[in-house]
Amino acid sequence: MSLQGKKALVTGGSRGIGSAIAKRLAADGATVAITYAGNKAAADATVAAIEQAGGTAFAFQADAADGASQRAGIEQAAGALGKVDILVHNAGVAEFATIEQDTDALFDRQFDVNVRGVHVGTRAALPHLSDGGRIILIGSISGELGLSAVATYSATKAAVAALARSWAKDLASRNILVNTVQPGPIDTDLNPADGEFAQQMTTMIPLGRYGTVDEVSGVVAFLAGPDASYVTGTTINVDGGTAA
């Protein structure tokens, strides 16, 4: 198991892509702590699935939008793990609005969770992060595409990729590798493959289908593992060719 003995912290690990990442890192041998915003039942289910498969996992409530809550949750998770070798910032929200419909509240909410939460959370985790560790940010291909009604969300995800590029340089002297995974349309509660916009979205995907959460978690596992030892400061799209 490539991550045997490693300790991983995954934000937003209760559902969707984050839950799949937590399960995959655990299957590869890591002890995993997840955070969640409010869905304790889903967080407990992720922990239970990991433990049923023979792994070890913990869950902590932490609202990524709230600095004090995010810091406390990351501290608790790092304390339970003892150290952090792999930090995955997956928690995210998307609110669709054209510029005519957009509001301060929609803007603040998405930047608070998707960007500020990543910034606060990384600073809180850093004293616990091992030299040679990994930080993996979940961005989105919308961070590099112009799509109607997704401007603010897209701006948050462009910011995420920008943070990763600079942090890769800030942390290179400690051999901490920092990368962004940019999913395309992935079937989750946030973007269901049978949702309102799914048919139109699928026409943009060269592979002609939504991706699965496991197709994202596999790439995260690669970046977390020994084969990615010379990969830092980059973005990997997992999008069926959508952004090509």
Contact of 217 with 23, CB cutoff 8 Å: yes
Among 30, 33, 93, 136, binds ligand NDP (CB under 6 A): 93
Q: Residue 40 or residue 174: which is nearer to ligand NDP going by CB?
A: 40
Per the annotation, the verdict on 153 as an active-site residue is yes
Q: Would you count residue 206 as binding ligand NDP (CB under 6 A)?
A: no
Q: Would you count residue 242 as binding ligand NDP (CB under 6 A)?
A: no
Contact of 188 with 16, CB cutoff 8 Å: yes
Query: How many whole angstroms separate alpha carbon 100 and alpha carbon 232?
Result: 38
Instruction: Provide the minimum distance between the beta carbon of 131 and ligand NDP in the complex, in angstroms, as a whole number.
Output: 27
Q: Residue 27 or residue 201: which is nearer to ligand NDP going by CB?
A: 201
* Interface size with ligand NDP, residues (CB under 6 A): 32
**Three-state secondary structure call for residue 16:** helix
Query: How many whole angstroms separate alpha carbon 230 and alpha carbon 86?
Result: 16
Residue in 30, 82, 86, 95 with CA at minimum distance from that of residue 57: 30
Q: Residue 44 or residue 102: which is nearer to ligand NDP going by CB?
A: 44
CA 107 to chain CA centroid, nearest Å: 20
Q: Which residues bind ligand NDP (CB under 6 A)?
A: 11-12, 14-18, 35-39, 42, 62-65, 90-94, 113, 138, 140, 183, 185-186, 188-191
Residues with catalytic function: 153
